[in-house]
Chains A and B, each alone.
Chain A
Amino acid sequence: NAGVTQTPKFRVLKTGQSMTLLCAQDMNHEYMYWYRQDPGMGLRLIHYSVGEGTTAKGEVPDGYNVSRLKKQNFLLGLESAAPSQTSVYFCASSQGGTVRSGNTIYFGEGSWLTVV
């Protein structure tokens, strides 16, 4: 049972390069999320999606774009990478949209990105 899978796991980019992180979930979840985690800070929400074909901005969306063309996939793009985007990126998914309903958010294993 794969759950939430992220590719690639590790990547080194030069400033100005572009790349796409791919997230795939096999749980038929409606909601998907991209977070970043930086030292001394909690996970911060970059973008999220409430269903196929939808995207919305989270807490720190600048410098990133996302797409949800298929329900099971959520792509995070960096158009022109900057050193400030060096971070660990986590994709997540959930069936429901409200924590009160008991829906748990499931996280992927993370993607380590370094921008030099």
Chain B
Amino acid sequence: DQQVKQNSPSLSVQEGRISILNCDYTNSMFDYFLWYKKYPAEGPTFLISISSIKDKNEDGRFTVFLNKSAKHLSLHIVPSQPGDSAVYFCAASAQHLQGAQKLVFGQGTRLTINP
């Protein structure tokens, strides 16, 4: 049962254009959502997050939008740069009894920025 889904395994975008990565979730108990970026042979690194009480969070070229009614979030990258080529994971968090950060990850979307 995949609670967090990224239905696009890959996405190719021209440099300078907007990249939009999508993520859907099923568990209404999730209260925080995160995006991680992963380069080959490296661990995922935190990119941006959003609380479930907000519908938008912006950090430089990166903006995450949350639509709670649709259980959908998206990551916008504007403008896209070659260094943005990586695998992007969507993750969701729900409060756990022991307080540890139990993140549920999507399958990832491989973003390729073409010159």
- Interface of A with B (CB < 8 Å)? 4, 31, 33, 40-45, 48, 50, 56, 58, 90, 92, 94, 96-100, 103-110
Q: Which residue of A lies closest to B90 (CB)?
A: A42
> Contacting B99 at CB < 8 Å: which of A33, A42, A45, A50?
A50
Interchain residue pairs with CB less than 8 A apart (29) = A31-B100, A33-B101, A40-B107, A41-B107, A42-B6, A42-B106, A42-B108, A43-B103, A48-B100, A50-B98, A56-B98, A56-B100, A92-B43, A96-B101, A97-B96, A97-B99, A97-B100, A98-B101, A99-B101, A99-B103, A100-B31, A100-B51, A103-B101, A104-B46, A107-B36, A109-B41, A109-B42, A110-B41, A110-B42
A58 and B102 within 8 A (CB): yes
Determine chain B's interface SS by DSSP, over half rule: loop
A98 and B95 within 8 A (CB): yes
CA distance A50 to B93 in the complex (A): 16
Give min CB distance, B65 to chain A, whole Å. 18
Query: Given the known A-B contacts A43-B105, A99-B32, A99-B93, are A107 and B44 also in contact in the complex, defined by CB atoms under 8 Å?
Result: yes
Residues of chain B within 8 A of A45, CB atoms compared:
102-103
Residues of chain A within 8 A of B89, CB atoms compared:
42-43
CA distance A105 to B101 in the complex (A): 8
CA distance A14 to B41 in the complex (A): 23
CA distance A104 to B46 in the complex (A): 7
CA distance A104 to B48 in the complex (A): 10
CA distance A58 to B4 in the complex (A): 16
B93 and A107 within 8 A (CB): no
